[in-house]
Amino acid sequence: MHDLAKRISLTIQTPDDWHLHFRDGELLKETVPATARCFKRAIAMPNLVPPVTTTEMALNYKQRIQNAAPEGSGFDALVTLYLTNETTPAEIEKAKAAGIVASKLYPAGATTNSDAAVKGIRDLYPVFEKMQDVGMLLLIHGEVTENHIDIFDREKAFIDAYLRDIVRDFPSLKVVFEHITTKDAADFVESASVNVAATITPQHLLLNRNDLLVGGVRPHNYCLPILKRNIHQQALQQVVAKGSKKFFLGTDSAPHEKHKKESACGCAGCYSAWSAIELYAQIFEQLDALDKLEGFASHYGPDFYGLPRNDGTITLVKETWKVPELISLADNGTVSKQDDIVPFYAGQMLNWQLSSVN
Rounded CA gap, 354 and 319, in Å?
A: 9
- Cα–Cα separations (whole angstroms), residue 260 to 219, 220, 264, 335: 10, 10, 8, 14
Candidates 3, 252, 288, 303; catalytic one = 252
- DSSP one-letter code for 341: B
Cα 105 to chain centroid, rounded: 14
- Give binding residues for Zn(2+) as ranges: 19, 21, 104, 141, 179, 252
* Close Cβ partners of 85 (under 8 Å, ≥ 6 residues apart): 118, 119, 120, 123, 124
Specify binding-site residues.
Answer: 19, 21-23, 47, 104, 141, 179, 224, 252, 256, 268
Evaluate whether 62 touches 77 at the Cβ level (below 8 Å).
Answer: yes
Specify binding-site residues for substrate.
21-23, 47, 141, 224, 256, 268
For the question of residue 252 being annotated catalytic, the response is: yes
CB-hemisphere CA count at 13 Å for 317?
11
| Separation of first and last alpha carbons in the chain | 16
Catalytic residues: 252
